[in-house]
Amino acid sequence: LQDEETRKDYDYMLDHPEEYYRHYYHYYRRRLAPKVDVTIVILVTVCAISVFQFFSWWSSYNEAINYLASVPKYRIQATEIARQQGLLNKTKEKGKNRRSKEEIREEEEEIIKDIIKNKIDIKGGYQKPKIYDILLFQILLAPFYWCKYIVWYCWWIYCFTIKGQEYGVEEKLYIIRRYMKMSQSQFDSLEDHQKETFLERQLWIRENYEVYKREQEEELKKKMALDPRWKRYRRWMKNEGPGRLTFIDD
């Protein structure tokens, strides 16, 4: 009888001894109930997910770097930069310091990858991971982000709704991104000429964006109609796809 709730169950048992199975249920529920604090469980789970996120992003980033290092265009440029910086023009080592060809090749490969990391800005799902993007820091910084968003939203209402100011380039791109339902990282991964096309067509205006959206849908339909794979898929759906019963003679 360590707490108030346990004493209540005990008093109830004394008053209702005939409810045999109910007493057993409450007894074993207390005996088998987990003793670990729920807060600790949640914290450990969030930390585990955050660690997995970070290493998963690092793996994707390294895959992107390895791929770019295998593309002749980027590899030649990185090799030329490394030669200009004197990183690949080292004198041959002699005696005990002499290394094997495999070690020299591995070092040159690392130098080329480092050049690519420093010179190429990878965006989207393969960009360089940041510690502040993992779940743990997102939860800790959530109040700050909310306050920042509220201040920004009030500023937006004041400037463009109350005062009626014209949109700048950043504001126009923001509205276009919202219309396209894209995240900031997805929108940043687009080429600059695509964003310039959005601005030239004034897609921050809802009517213009709807016209552009219909054009893209029509273009996609034409591509799908001419794509041999989609033709095979439609043919298969018509002849062999779901909803068709076939009988095979033994």
**Could you list the pLDDT tens digit for every one of the 250 residues in the chain?**
566 667 676 666 667 776 666 666 666 666 656 666 678 888 889 999 999 988 988 888 888 888 888 888 888 888 888 888 777 765 455 555 666 777 778 888 888 888 888 877 666 666 777 888 888 888 999 999 999 999 999 999 999 989 989 999 999 999 999 999 888 877 887 888 899 999 999 999 999 999 999 998 888 888 777 777 766 666 665 665 554 444 444 4
Question: Based on the number of CB atoms within 10 Å of its own CB, is 108 exposed (0-12), middle (13-18) or buried (19 or more)?
Answer: middle
Beta-carbon contacts of 83 under 8 Å, excluding residues fewer than 6 positions away, are 89
For the chain, the domains span 4-33, 39-90+100-129, 176-240
pTM, to two decimals: 0.57
Whole-number CA gyration radius for the chain: 32
